[in-house]
Structure formats: C-alpha cells, structure tokens
Structure 1
Amino acid sequence: MRIHDNLIRLSATDLVGHLACRHLTALDLSVATGKRAEPKGFDPFLDALVKRGLDHERGFIEHLQKSGVTVTTIDGPSGARQVADTTAAMRKGVDVIVQAALVQGRWEGRADILRRIAMKTNLGDWGYEVIDTKLARETKGGTVLQLCLYSDLVATIQGELADKMYVVTPLSGYEPIEFRTNDYMTYCRFVRVRLEAAVDGAASDSYPEPKAHCDICRWDRECDARRRKDDHLSLVAGISKMQMGELERNAIETTEALSTMPLPMSWKPKRGAARTFERVREQARVQVEGRRLQKPVHEVLPPEPGFGLSRLPEPSPGDVFFDFEGDPFVGEAGLEYLFGTCVTDDADALQY
C-alpha cells in the first residue's frame, strides 16, 4: 500500500492481508498516509522463508529456460518504466515474462510469471496467463486471490481474461497446478471492493484480534503489546473467539475481569456450555495470580476417570512412545513428518 499521484495504490499483498486481518489494513494505511512508521525488526524465520521462496522461483525460471522458451525479466522496483516494459514485452509476444509489472487504476502488482498462450486478444493471436510460485504444498485462498488480481490486471492490457491461472509448488516437478479463473473471479472482486471501502473509510474501527496471520505478520509485536496493555481476553490460554464474544456481551472484557467472575455463573451463555466458561475463568484466575506473584503458577487438576491421561492403559514393559515432528527448512519443501520413538530396555533405561 502506497500513495502515488494522490491515489492510495493497492496490491495483491494488501488484498490478501485484508482477507486475513482487517486491522492489518488499518496499520498499513497509517504507514502509507504518514501517520506512523513501519515496524522495525528482524525475524530469521520469515527471512529464511523469503529466501526459499526466491530460490523456488529461480528454479522454476531455470526449468522454463531449459525447455527452450524465451524469457524476459522486468528488473527494478515498480514504476512507469517497468509497466511500460511489461506491456511492450506482451505486445512483442515473448514466451515468458518474469516479474511482470501491472497497473490498473489504484491496483498494481508484480506477477511472478506471465506465460504466452494461443488465444485471441488485443495483442494478436496470443495472450498471457498468470503463474505464481509458492512454497506451500497446499494452495491457500490468498494465493488464488493474488492470481485472480494479476489475471484481471493482465486482461486490461490484452482485452481478454485468460481461462486459467496456475500455481507451482515444491516437489511438483515444476508442474503447474491449474485453476479456472472464472471460478474465483467474482469473490476476488468482492474482496477488492471491500478493501477499497475500508481504505476509503480510513479503516479505523478495528482491533488487533489474534489471527493465524499473526505468525508471519510484521506488526505482530505491536499488536501483541496492545493486547497485553489492554489485558485482552485472548491472553487467556485455551479461550475461543466464541467464548470471548459471549463474555464481552456480558461486560467481561479483560483477563482480570474474567478471573474474578462469580461462580457459579449468574448468566447463561447463548452459545457453549457453562462449564467451559467456568474452565477458562479458572485459567484466567491462575494466570492473574502468576502475574501478581511474578512467577509461573500452576494447579494440578484432580484426575477424572475416562478423561485425559486417565484414558491411557497401565504402563507396560513393551510400551513404545511415538512422536511426530517436522522441519520446514529441510530440502526443497521442508520435512512434514520426522518420526521418533522411545522405549525402555531391560535395565529400565530409556532408549531413543
């Protein structure tokens, strides 16, 4: 997100970010309008993912070059020259365009790959379809939104929307996964309109609710600090969004307030069983006590027959403890399953 010629320009990253978290849109907008600085910090995990992503893209480009096609790369940061070079390459009819710079109105983007195909367009007897390279082995909704946006931007140049768009994932032999463009375009345009409305409305009515996107978000530290300052209910271990909603509707809006909620409860939740709310209340009480004492606090729950660890059979000399682990940085696409076992030998010593 950036301001160019007095217009807030939006990108595929903004589109995917808005779908993941409305508050992210508000934060990025505040940076674009000069109201705050970008967050500073270095995350080695994210840095490694970026490098692996670039390696994967380079590998696919080399694969295309070995097949004998002509490849044109659009170098440099997005600007008028890069957009003009992309359009010129499309009109020339080169086989593959790497890092294509696309702009239409307030929307812009850099598509990983444009591949020439046979179709009737403003360019002639050819047109272009979009290919994106991603590290994830399962294509996510945000990736499909990116493909749709790029396909739409390409269509403004060639006059026709390509029927298909593709993702290249690791361990696929660089064989693109196909998606029918029109199956997803309506939803993409809906999200685009929603993002534009949020930006034009200053996107102010948002709060940094914890999201799955937080794991890879540059604003994670700031949002976490805000929640801790507010003593937000999401700080309670094991609490659900549904439970937070029920509690807030009953004027219980902080971890501290939840920790002192009278038991038995004086109100009946519209959703969920009362005992589950009592459980998170007790969890909040333990956490608040730990904050007061400035040390970890725990309480041992009484065993319940047929529940939790009580469901395990009695120990036996032949028991094998089996564990699954993973490593995202092994090989081309990470290691999904790493097996580990632990047994006891005749001397009752652990063997791994």
Structure 2
Amino acid sequence: MRYIDDDGRIVWSASDLKAAAECEFAWLRAIDAKLGRLPAVDDPEDLTLARAGRLGTQHELRVLEEYRARFPGRVVEIPETRSSDAAALAAAVAATDAALADPDVAVVYQAAFATDEFVGFADFLVRDDDGSWIVQDTKLARRARVTALMQLAAYVDQLDRLGVPRSDRVQLLLGDGSVSEHAVRDLLPVFGLRRDRLRALIADRDVPAGAAGASLAWGDERGALRVVACGRCATCDLEVIAQRDLLLVAGMRPVQRDRLRAAGVVTIDALAAAREAPPRMSWDTFAGLRTQARLQLESPAGGVAPVASGVPVAVPTFEVVFPKALGALPRPSRGDLFFDFEGDPLYTEGAGANGVTNWGIDYLFGWVDLDEQYSALWAHSFAEEKAALEQFLDFVALRRQTHPDLHIYHYAPYEPSHLLAMAARHGVGEAAVDRLLAEGVFVDLYPIVRRALRVGSRSYSIKKLEPLYMGDEVRTSDVQRGDDSIVRYVEARTLQDAGDAASAQEIFDDLADYNRYDCVSTRRLRDWLVDRARGADLLPS
C-alpha cells in the first residue's frame, strides 16, 4: 500500500487484501501513519517468517527455471520494479502488455499491472492450450488459503480490465509440489466483495485531508462500517495495553468481550470490579473471567503494562479454582517420563518418489526421568527421524515392561499429534502410538492447568508458569523461544555443511540445554500440581 502525496490517493496491492483481512484496524492505522497522523508501528522481527520468505522466493525461482527449460526462448521476465518508481513501473506495465499480446510468448514472469488505485505483480501468467492466460502464484504453504486465492482473483480482474483472454481457472503452485486449481467463477464474487470493502475502508480515512485528518481510535468501529480489529497484532497489542482493554484478560473470547462491552464493562479494571454477569453469559463464565482479571491486576506478572527489558522475572499470583481437576492427575510412577520435541516446520528434502514434497522435521526428541536424567535422540534427516521414532517407541515399550504404570507428560498437544503424523509419514510405529494414546500413557498438563487454576498472567504458556515452580533456576541459554530454536538449528546446520563442526556443535549443545530445560520444567510442573492436589486433600488417581 502506498500514499501518492501529489494526488492525495492510496494505491493498494493484492497483498493488502490479505493484510486487511487479517486486521482491518492495523491496516487502517497504517494508512493513518502514511498520512502523517500518527507514528508507524514497527512489527517485531520474526526470523522464522523472514526465513519462510526466503524459502518462498527459492520455490518461485525453481518454478521459473522449470518454465525456462520447458519453453526455451518463450518466457518473458519482467524486470523487478518498485511500485514507488513511477517510470520503471510504467515500463514494466508496457512490457507486460507487449508480452501478453505476443503469440510466441508462453509464460510471463512478474507481470505488472497498475491503475489509479491498484498496483500488482503476478508471479506467473501461463498461456493455456486455447491461447488464454492462466494466472498462477507460488506459495510455500501446503494448502490453499482464501487470502492467496483473492490475490489470484485480483490479477484475473486486471486481465479482464485489459480485455486480455484469460482462463476460467487459476492455480496455486504449492510448497509440497502439488497444484491447487480453482474456478474463477467461484472466486470473483468474493473478490468483488473484498475489493469493495477495501475501497470503503480507504474512503473512511478521508485521504484528501492528509495529516490534518483524524486517526482511527481504538474501539471506534466507524458506525455501519464496523471495522474489525484482530486484537493480536503489534498495532492492536499497543492499544489493548494502553486502553486496558478486556483483551488483556487471558482466555477472553471476542464474543465474550462484545457482551461485556455491551453491558458497559470495557476495561480489565471494570471487569474485576463487576458484580453482575452480562446478558447471554453464564455466571460460571463471568466469574471465571472476573477472577482472571482480578488476579492479573494483583499480579506483578499480569501483563497489563509494558514490561521493561532487564527486569527480573516476576512470579504470578494464582488460585486453585477447581481442585477436582488436579485429582485427575495420574499417580506418580518411578517410570514416568517428561517429553518434549524440537522441530523445524520448514525443513524439506525436496520431492519424494511420489512427487510430493514433505515439510517439517522433529530434529530432537528429548526427555527426563524422575531423577531429571536427560536423554536425547537427534534427527537431521527424514531417515534419521524415522530411526529416532522407532528407537523412542522401543525405549518406551521396554520401560513399560518394568514400569507398567508409567506416564509420559507433556504440555500442550504437540508431542502426541506429531508422533501420530510422524508414524503415518514413515509408515512405522502407528499401532504402537495408537496403543499409547488409547491406554492414556500420554498426559497433557495444559488442560489440567486451565481447568484447575487461574494464574495472574496474560498467557498460560509453560514459560509464563515457570516462575511458580522453577525457583532461581533461570534460563542461561541463548535460545529463549521456540522460534529462536528453529533459527538457531538452521544456523547450526549451515555451519555444519560449511565444515565448521565445532561452532555447529556449540549451537546443538545449546539447543539440547533448551530442550532439557523444557523437559525439567514439565517434570517440576507435574510435581507442583501434585503438591497443589495434596494441599486440597486430593490424591492423584
């Protein structure tokens, strides 16, 4: 999206359809920033997203190479152009028009389109057998998303505007090597609605007023326009904290927020002091949200104000609100294990024998026992992942012979769901994983925490709970988040491939320490929950 100061107009692109669909409030605030009405919000650096972008570009270039080989001399590549360079953009549009009119051209790469309100660059336009053009876009994703289909429809709309014959189908060239094909007649009506919505949003910003116009205020739905805020992005989060919005309350759903606001309860403070449930909200739901709000206000880790860097980790307040949920914990066994995966969702080895590209590897299987003795299995390829899966299942089966009452604890459903997917992909261990699940060997502590406790924190991630039971054992690893571990793993693999084994091993050791800490954290959370159960005169079952 660009603001043309001289003409006083906004020019949008196909990617703006996606951005506005994700958060209209943030998109409109970005317009306000371009108009000089308020400072722009910087999105936090996302190294994983940046890597996905690089891999997406590589995928696009591989497709381009395939077309060059398939249609030698018949692929027109429009030079890369910045939409802010008016002269270069005009030249790119002219080159695109000429290529579309040339009967010898089979593929146009980065076709450029521009109008007074729109600018865009289509990945590929491919001539069909009947001479019409098929709009194609490369996406690293493994399935079609509506936002990607709207981008394709935007380029179809441009071909229609130019009167250029186009196919009645569009195609997404997905990251797994498959092609997702869709009928244009199914997409254009939805695209028309999305485009009209975008135009209405832009018109609401009173662009001709420039910096003198009013910026969009948090909570202002603009009447019948009903602007939607996602409540999660960086732009929204700043406002949620500044306005002490109900979205600060952990577990607050949009429909619950709407009902509370309709009853005049608009801040976390008002909710903590409220005495009556709003219409169409049960008393139990209201009481749970009110308790959560109160605890967050009382807690130094409540997340109701920006956290300065360098501040020691605060211990959140908590209350046991449903002790019986703690009684559902299994009785501890000497054979218990505390398990955690580390994975890279963007790892791939290219297309397999079936022509399908598999994505994602769990490169580290880690666990500790009751003595916090750490064990790990590494997997740097799909073949090694298969072997690690078999070794892990064999180890568990052997341990169950000695400790038939053992359980494998984890936090959130990632571990069992990935074991199932991994077994299905490699064709090994499916019956063993099914048996472990059917016999209740895996125990997810997350739903027990959510049902039994209220914690004075915006998040119930295990990282936010650790101050309750980890004491002074603060992480010292360079790796602090799951996304960080993925980036560090890729860095280590790059160093390893370059022959720097020592530097790679340092990172692998740090990743193992990160994984070990997560396993120990799961073990101590289990013990902490057992202590809470005993404090309520309950015994684990």
Decide: shared fold, TM above 0.5: yes
**Residue 163 of structure 1: how far off its partner (Å):** 0.8
1:139-183 Cα offsets, whole Å, 9 max, x none, are 2110011111111112222444421111111121xx422111111
Query: Which residue identity does 2:148 align to in structure 1?
Result: T
Corresponding position of 1:97: 108
SS in structure 2 at match of 1:163: strand
SS in structure 2 at match of 1:330: strand
**Residue 273 of structure 1: how far off its partner (Å):** 2.2
CA distance in 2, matches of 1:256, 1:302: 21
CA contact (8 A) 1:25 1:199 kept: no
SS in structure 2 at match of 1:311: coil
CA distance in 2, matches of 1:8, 1:130: 25
Query: Which residue identity does 2:360 align to in structure 1?
Result: L
Corresponding position of 1:217: none
CA distance in 2, matches of 1:10, 1:57: 23
**Residue 325 of structure 1: how far off its partner (Å):** 5.0
1:255-285 Cα offsets, whole Å, 9 max, x none, are 11112223xxx34531x42211211111111
1:205-244 residue pairs with structure 2 within 5 A?
205-206=220-221, 209-211=229-231, 214=233, 220=234, 222-244=235-257
Does 1:57 pair with 2:54? no
Corresponding position of 1:194: 197
Corresponding position of 1:77: 82
User: Cα gap change, 1:325/1:188 in structure 2, threshold over 3 Å: closer, same or farther?
Assistant: farther
**Residue 53 of structure 1: how far off its partner (Å):** 1.7
Corresponding position of 2:290: 281
Residue number among 309, 317, 329 corresponding to 1:298 in the alignment: 317
CA distance in 2, matches of 1:8, 1:348: 59
CA distance in 2, matches of 1:249, 1:233: 12
CA distance in 2, matches of 1:55, 1:302: 51
Corresponding position of 1:123: none
CA distance in 2, matches of 1:164, 1:257: 53
CA contact (8 A) 1:104 1:156 kept: no
State the TM-score, normalizing by the size of structure 2.
Answer: 0.55
Query: Which residue identity does 2:343 align to in structure 1?
Result: G
User: Cα gap change, 1:314/1:339 in structure 2, threshold over 3 Å: closer, same or farther?
Assistant: farther
Residue number among 181, 204, 229 corresponding to 2:184 in the alignment: 181
CA distance in 2, matches of 1:144, 1:329: 22
State the TM-score, normalizing by the size of structure 1.
Answer: 0.82
Does 1:86 pair with 2:96? yes
Does 1:310 pair with 2:327? yes
* Worse-superposed segment, 230-239 or 2-11: 2-11
Query: Which residue identity does 1:199 align to in structure 2?
Result: I
CA distance in 2, matches of 1:349, 1:46: 35
**Residue 189 of structure 1: how far off its partner (Å):** 0.4
Query: Which residue identity does 1:64 align to in structure 2?
Result: Y
1:222-247 Cα offsets, whole Å, 9 max, x none, are 43222111111111111111111111
CA distance in 1, matches of 2:41, 2:67: 37
CA contact (8 A) 1:168 1:176 kept: yes
Does 1:117 pair with 2:136? no
**Residue 37 of structure 1: how far off its partner (Å):** 5.1
Corresponding position of 2:157: 152
CA distance in 1, matches of 2:44, 2:338: 37
Q: Which 5+ residue runs of structure 2 have no aligned equivalent?
A: 84-88, 207-215, 222-226, 308-313, 350-357, 377-541
Corresponding position of 2:381: none
User: Cα gap change, 1:276/1:42 in structure 2, threshold over 3 Å: closer, same or farther?
Assistant: closer
CA contact (8 A) 1:210 1:234 kept: no
* Worse-superposed segment, 145-154 or 291-300: 291-300
CA distance in 2, matches of 1:348, 1:81: 65
User: Cα gap change, 1:161/1:39 in structure 2, threshold over 3 Å: closer, same or farther?
Assistant: same
Does 1:342 pair with 2:351? no
User: Cα gap change, 1:156/1:32 in structure 2, threshold over 3 Å: closer, same or farther?
Assistant: same
* Worse-superposed segment, 244-253 or 99-108: 99-108
CA distance in 2, matches of 1:304, 1:290: 21
CA distance in 1, matches of 2:23, 2:231: 7
Query: Which residue identity does 1:73 align to in structure 2?
Result: E
User: Cα gap change, 1:296/1:208 in structure 2, threshold over 3 Å: closer, same or farther?
Assistant: farther
SS in structure 2 at match of 1:87: helix
CA distance in 2, matches of 1:39, 1:344: 45
CA contact (8 A) 2:133 2:165 kept: no
**Residue 40 of structure 1: how far off its partner (Å):** 4.2
Percent identical across equivalent pairs? 28
User: Cα gap change, 1:298/1:40 in structure 2, threshold over 3 Å: closer, same or farther?
Assistant: closer
**Residue 301 of structure 1: how far off its partner (Å):** 0.8
**Residue 36 of structure 1: how far off its partner (Å):** 4.2
1:85-111 Cα offsets, whole Å, 9 max, x none, are 111111113111111111245222111
RMSD over aligned Cα atoms:
2.9
CA contact (8 A) 2:71 2:106 kept: no
Over alpha carbons, which structure has the higher Rg?
2
- The alignment of Structure 1 onto Structure 2 pairs a total of residues equal to 330
CA contact (8 A) 2:245 2:267 kept: yes
Query: Which residue identity does 1:236 align to in structure 2?
Result: V
Does 1:258 pair with 2:271? yes
**Residue 311 of structure 1: how far off its partner (Å):** 2.9
User: Cα gap change, 1:26/1:17 in structure 2, threshold over 3 Å: closer, same or farther?
Assistant: same
**Residue 349 of structure 1: how far off its partner (Å):** 4.5
Corresponding position of 2:379: none
Corresponding position of 1:249: 262
Query: Which residue identity does 1:242 align to in structure 2?
Result: V
**Residue 34 of structure 1: how far off its partner (Å):** 3.9
SS in structure 1 at match of 2:135: strand
